Amino acid sequence: MKMTGARILLECLKREGVDIVFGYPGGAVLDIYHDLNRDETLRHILVRHEQGAAHAADGYARASGKVGVCLVTSGPGATNIVTGLATAYADSIPVVAITGQVHTHLIGNDAFQEVDIVGITRPCTKHNFLVKDLKRLALTVREAFHLARSGRPGPVLIDFPKDLMTQSTEFVWPEEVRMRSYNPTYRPNLNQLRRAAELMAVSERPLLLAGGGVISSDASRELRALAHDFSIPVTSTLMGLGAFPGDDPLFLGMLGMHGTYAANKAVNKADLIIAAGARFDDRVTGRLETFAPKAKIIHIDIDPTSIRKNVEVDVPVVGDCAMSLEGLHEVLRTRDAENPHDWEASHAAWLGQLREWHDARPLTYSSDGDSLKPQQVVEAVQRITGGKAVYTTEVGQNQMWAAQFLTITEPRTFITSGGLGTMGYGLPAAIGVQFALPDRLVIDIAGDGSIQMNIQELMTAVCNRLPIKILILNNSYLGMVRQWQELFYEHNYSFTCMEEGQPDFVKLAEAYGAEGYRISTIGELDNVLPVALSSPSPAIIDVRVAKEENVYPMVPAGAALDEMLLV
């Protein structure tokens, strides 16, 4: 059947299982929008800024496990999604971004709203395509989705010239994708699993480290089985929160710069670390030469370039996290059948030591009884929701307090920008999450600085009747920057105080058609917060918290994990 390029694109999206597209129209994509408005199966969500479209597609992908899709015009529309693509790339999130482009004969002529978006996004996408031949469009879309969701997931961009959208050709759907230069390894090498099992069998102080790859490969069940059946404690990166239940006795909490005392001490004293789907980035390792000084390291990752990138590894295992953890479990069970091993007894002293560290230095904060502490607010949210909400965060102190004081028990319920640290991510991501999980309460834990970077997306939530709650931990500062200025820059709070330049967040919410609440006292926290969180409408909850509260523990830049600053 003959179809126009615009129609072929929409048909390809549907065949890839897409049912929702986040976008913003413009001249170079008008032909796609002309057909999209008539399509009865594809839902389009009109955002208020292209960056919001990219983050919403990202949030949708993280919460659903599917590929998120955004659609924008050429020129500034395309450049406006670059931060969103970089965010998804840093955290390995499957997103397909479709950008309009000027007519093919105008490319390279500095035409109106022309940019080389393929060149611009080469460093922050897994791959990108410029459509040059309409007959290859269906194959291009097929390859883009295959690349986005397979191997180590990531964003892929399709740049689509306007003249090809109106041309017609026969639509032929490629039933399979063959990319000779791209063959991710899913099944781990059995010999490597046996080597890993040998190290585990002699280890007295093992530690499982769960990264975001455990969540993206849906390997939480396999991780739990390995930890429980072989009595191994678990820590996680920021991106790995939810991979292992936060209320499980074996869970030590997050490690790293703002990790728990027990988790960071465990890394320092462990004799074996089994890392799955983690990158060993600088916020996790602290000073590299002091990281896990007593430990051998088993590193499981589907991306071979991530292994030995930052830390030396004793047993590399290239493969899908779920398959690798399950395979390791089977190898250990086979060893046990031949030579029984009392795992619980061999790790008892280690688990006892970890409990002592946890009890000696739990996550805590001081309360003066007058001002609300941000940690206290996060604990109240946890208590009121019963741990059943899904959370997004902005970036800054709010992100770290959420990571520390929320108990995340399920994968895909803590959605945050980890690798890039993108302020303004949380609200548009929450929109994508709410579309992915329409029956769940979605809360964006925000700061008064970062929420203003994409506040316009509150209109998107209102127009679509999304009951998203934006909880602002309002300390009138760019809090994380102020904390560094206090600790390392002689209390020189250079351009971080926002007290005189803040909007009235309650009135701002009402101007957008949302509800607005303000909480300033413990009594209001107890009385107003439950009402606000149970409202069926989108809402901003402006909570005035202590202005100069810091996030602790904190490992200063360049310090070792056991050189934590504590409360």
Among the listed residues 239, 423, 459, 480, the single catalytic one is: 480
Q: Where are the alpha helices (DSSP H) in 237-287?
A: 261-269, 282-285
Q: 414 with 242: CB under 8 angstroms?
A: yes
For residue 143, indicate whether it is catalytic: no
Q: 454 with 427: CB under 8 angstroms?
A: yes
At position 383, the amino acid (one-letter code) is R
Task: Report how far residue 137's alpha carbon sits from residue 15's, in angstroms, rounded to the nearest whole number.
Answer: 14
Q: Can you tell me whether residue 299 is helix, strand or coil?
A: strand
Only one residue has tokens 């997050």, namely 254
Q: Which residues contact 442 (CB under 8 A, 6 or more apart)?
A: 389, 390, 391, 392, 430, 433, 434, 466, 467, 468, 469
The residues that bridge with 471 in the sheet, in sequence order, are 445, 541
Task: Report how far residue 509's alpha carbon sits from residue 470's, in angstroms, rounded to the nearest whole number.
Answer: 10
Q: Where are the alpha helices (DSSP H) in 276-347?
A: 282-285, 321-338, 343-346
Q: 272 with 206: CB under 8 angstroms?
A: yes
Task: Report how far residue 224's alpha carbon sits from residue 236's, in angstroms, rounded to the nearest whole number.
Answer: 13
For residue 113, indicate whether it is catalytic: yes
Task: Report how far residue 545's alpha carbon sits from residue 486's, in angstroms, rounded to the nearest whole number.
Answer: 18
Among the listed residues 3, 11, 16, 50, the single catalytic one is: 50
State residue 425 phi and psi, 5-degree precision.
-75, -40
The verdict on whether omega for the bond into residue 438 sits within 30 degrees of 0, i.e. cis, is no
Q: Inter-axis angle of helices 374-385 and 397-405, to 10 degrees?
A: 50
Task: Report how far residue 279's alpha carbon sits from residue 240's, in angstroms, rounded to the nearest whole number.
Answer: 11
Report CA 286 to chain centroid distance, whole Å.
21
Task: Report how far residue 466's alpha carbon sits from residue 470's, in angstroms, rounded to the nearest whole number.
Answer: 12
Residue-wise DSSP of 451-463: GGGSGGGHHHHHH
For residue 112, indicate whether it is catalytic: yes
Q: Pull the structure tokens for residue 510.
A: 């009402």
Among the listed residues 129, 143, 160, 162, the single catalytic one is: 162
For residue 480, indicate whether it is catalytic: yes
Gyration radius (Cα) of the chain, Å:
24
Q: Pull the structure tokens for residue 498.
A: 């926002």
The residues that bridge with 234 in the sheet, in sequence order, are 208, 251
Q: 549 with 475: CB under 8 angstroms?
A: yes
Task: Report how far residue 6's alpha carbon sits from residue 174's, in angstroms, rounded to the nearest whole number.
Answer: 17
List C-alpha distances in Å: 7 to 10, 27, 197: 5, 17, 53
The residues that bridge with 273 in the sheet, in sequence order, are 207, 297
For residue 435, indicate whether it is catalytic: no
Q: Pull the structure tokens for residue 315.
A: 């047993």
Among the listed residues 66, 113, 456, 548, the single catalytic one is: 113
Only one residue has tokens 């998203």, namely 468
Q: 239 with 248: CB under 8 angstroms?
A: no
Catalytic residues, which ones? 50, 112-113, 162, 480
